[in-house]
A and B are shown apart, each in its own frame.
Chain A
Amino acid sequence: MKKFKNAEYLISLFLSILASLIIGAFIMLANGRNPVTGYVALINGAFGSKYNIATTFAKTVPLVLTGLATSISFRSGISNIGGEGQLYLGAFGAALIGITFVNLPGIVGIPLALAASLIAGGLYALFPAILKVRYNIDEVIVTIMLNTVAVLLTSYLVNYPFASEIGKMGGTEIIAEGYQLSRLVRLSTLNTSIFYVAVISIIMYYLLERTSIGYEIKMVGQNSNFSRYGGINVKRRMIFAMVVSGALCGIAGAFEVLGVHYRFLQHISPGYAWDGMLIALIVKNNPIGVVLMSIFFGALKTGSISMENATGIPSELISVIQSIIILFIAGESGFKTKIKSFLANRRAIKKAGEKNA
């Protein structure tokens, strides 16, 4: 039964992506461009050379982390929409370590910076989690509000107390050399953070799918009353899921600082947490799915630049395609019910027709 369900979901997913790409093709046609050249350029841009593949994977890094962060929180039934804010604070925390303890060797400094980002992100998620379990305050609204608060707070910090010496550019100083993760492929921003992400993904998979904590988190999300009778400490599991979620977003921010920009910037994330959320929702919070879908989204992002250069189709087309995929997936069960009842109706009409004849 479960296998059948999975197969059915995979078919829907495939159809959703296909339909979204077809809609994308029509948009290209409406723009007077050839969709075939467009998509060929996109695939080439994403995987055509060593540099392109590296860029695709570089873009995958923050998506995997924010996607896994969404998975664990949504599985436990507490919705962390505050990833963006946790990411900003995590990024700032890492940068702060990197510009303060400049003499530390990388082997000590990098773990310290990651720990700072993890704590910053985790604490920032702990607050709405406590409001949720103690006072039953809607975490969706609180985390949305906290996003902007974090963006504003870090923007203040980097424009005033921690502003770079070279004038107001909305960023901190460059972090010390020991903290800078080495780049793996020339010209691309792909760096060693990809290895950390691989390890984190395996741990998260193990935690969610192979441990009793993961099982309990799933139970809490599916039926919190039932879990309570089953002896699970629902509140503790929810808080745990939320804090881990925040910590992962914080780390995503740290890698942007340590691996990509080498400093904190006030607009460091173009909405990675929202993209990660879309990814997790599309794959129904499955950790393996998150990794695969992140690579797909990373490829779309990278390829869209080449598509733009080759055919003049604005690269933003892909965020339109991505949001259409999520609309299809979100409407999946609804569409299925509609189609089923439509077919049942037709069958009934047909039968009635046969009887009359």
Chain B
Amino acid sequence: MLKEIINLTLLQHTIRTATPLILAALGGLLTQHAGILNIGMEGMILMGAFFAIVGSYFFSSSLAGVLMAVGVGILVGLLFAYFVIDLKSDEFIIGIAINILAGGLTVFLLRSIFGVKGAFSSPDIVPLPRFRLGFLEGIPLLDTIFNNHTVFVYVSWILVALVYVYLYKTPYGIWLRASGEFPEALETAGVSPRKMKYISSIACGVFCGFAGAHLSLGYLTLFTENMSAQRGFIAMAAIIFGGAHPIRTLIAAFMFGFFDALGIRLQVVGIPSQFTQMIPYLGTIVVLFVVAKSYIRKIKKNVEGES
């Protein structure tokens, strides 16, 4: 029994299910650093998944699908940024509005463009190319786990490194973080916090577009209603889990991807998977609790130290 659950497929699935989480979480942590809590990621992923299908189907190219997803991601990111930054609307109201808009719009378009309800699949949709790392082919274990994934799997890992360098090793990263933490200081230094917030929001849209494209063009090449299935919220959980640090967030995303994959394996052998699926959500609450408690302890210590 245990052998059926824990095997190489599980690890391979973990990598596959973690990828959209990593991509979306990277986008979300950029806005997080700019001082914006983006709960609209769920909708951004969903739109990305849908428009990736549209692009791939009509232009017979997966690249067109990805570009379409990214284009829509940029638009939604701009919309979000305009309302939150320029109109000073409540960020989470706009996030909810984007989620509901995405849910309605994708189903509406699914029916008016493709004339189907529920799901759309067609042999004319070109899937993302699979990628093989030549040097792993001789090693049986690593070959099964790490090879034959879509290009986004590898892109997501590279992006983690790039985001890390961007945030902590370049002046732009410092500006971005300052736009969230000390916007006044940044303003005095002659950099517009507004611009940095816009950039982070658009980047979030792009990354969520990637995540969506990976979902719909990656392994199954189909779109189903509500395909994002809470991934935007799990990505948010990963960000909180990882303290908005790219590498720690990556680890959290892998962990949540593992539990997701484990849930699928459990279902295959007929064990209820609901409890493993709960882990990311409950885990996030525990982390928030631990962080808050240690913060309170620190304050108490400081107060005692002074008196």
Contacts and interface: CB of A to CB of B under 8 A. Distances in A.
Interface in A305-328: 313-314, 316-320, 322-324, 326-327
A236 interface: no
Contacts of B148: none
Interface in B14-54: 37, 39
Contact of A152 (B107, B111, B274, B293): B274
Interface string A74-114: 00000101000000000000000000000000000000000
A268 B39 CA distance: 23
Contact of B277 (A137, A152, A322, A335): A152
A278 B95 CA distance: 11
A136 B292 contact: yes
Nearest to B277: A152
Contacts of A141: 37, 236, 240, 284, 288
A148 B233 contact: yes
A256 B86 CA distance: 41
Interface stretch (A44-52, A153-161, A201-209): A153-161
A79 to B, nearest CB: 7
B92 A140 contact: yes
Interface in B175-210: none
Contacts of A159: 272
Interface stretch (B4-12, B97-105, B119-127, B165-173): B97-105
Contact of B97 (A152, A326, A333): A326
Nearest to A31: B112
A146 interface: yes
Nearest to B101: A323
B231 to A, nearest CB: 11
B230 A137 contact: no
A63 interface: no
Q: Chain A interface: which size bin?
A: 35 or more
B83 interface: yes
B202 to A, nearest CB: 18
A280 to B, nearest CB: 11
B94 interface: yes
A314 B105 CA distance: 10
Contact of A324 (B86, B101, B272, B288): B101
Nearest to B117: A314
B83 A320 contact: no
Interface in B86-140: 86-90, 92-94, 96-101, 103-105, 107-108, 111-112
Given A141-B284, A149-B282, A330-B89, A320 B292 contact: no
Contacts of B100: 271, 274, 278, 319, 322-323, 326
Contacts of B96: 81, 274, 277-278, 326
Interface string B221-238: 000000000100100110
Interface residues of B, number: 43
B151 interface: no
Contacts of A79: 92
Nearest to A145: B281
Interface string B59-78: 00000000000000000000
Nearest to A32: B112
Contacts of B240: 141
B90 A137 contact: no
Contacts of A319: 100-101, 103-104, 108
A334 interface: yes
A27 B86 CA distance: 26
A142 B289 CA distance: 10
A138 B88 contact: no
Contacts of B37: 140-141
Contacts of A140: 37, 39, 92
A152 to B, nearest CB: 4
A99 B136 CA distance: 58
A29 interface: no
B296 interface: yes
A137 B292 contact: yes
Contacts of B236: 141, 144
A338 B87 contact: yes
Interface in A280-332: 281, 313-314, 316-320, 322-324, 326-327, 330-331
A159 B273 CA distance: 11
Contacts of A156: 272, 274-275
A194 B166 CA distance: 56
B109 to A, nearest CB: 9
B278 interface: yes
Contacts of B105: 316, 320
29 contacts: A31-B112, A81-B96, A131-B288, A135-B292, A135-B293, A136-B292, A141-B284, A142-B288, A145-B237, A145-B285, A149-B282, A152-B274, A159-B272, A271-B100, A313-B112, A316-B108, A317-B108, A319-B104, A320-B104, A320-B105, A320-B108, A322-B100, A324-B101, A326-B96, A327-B83, A327-B94, A333-B87, A335-B87, A338-B87
Nearest 3 Cβ contacts at the A-B interface: A334-B87, A319-B104, A323-B101
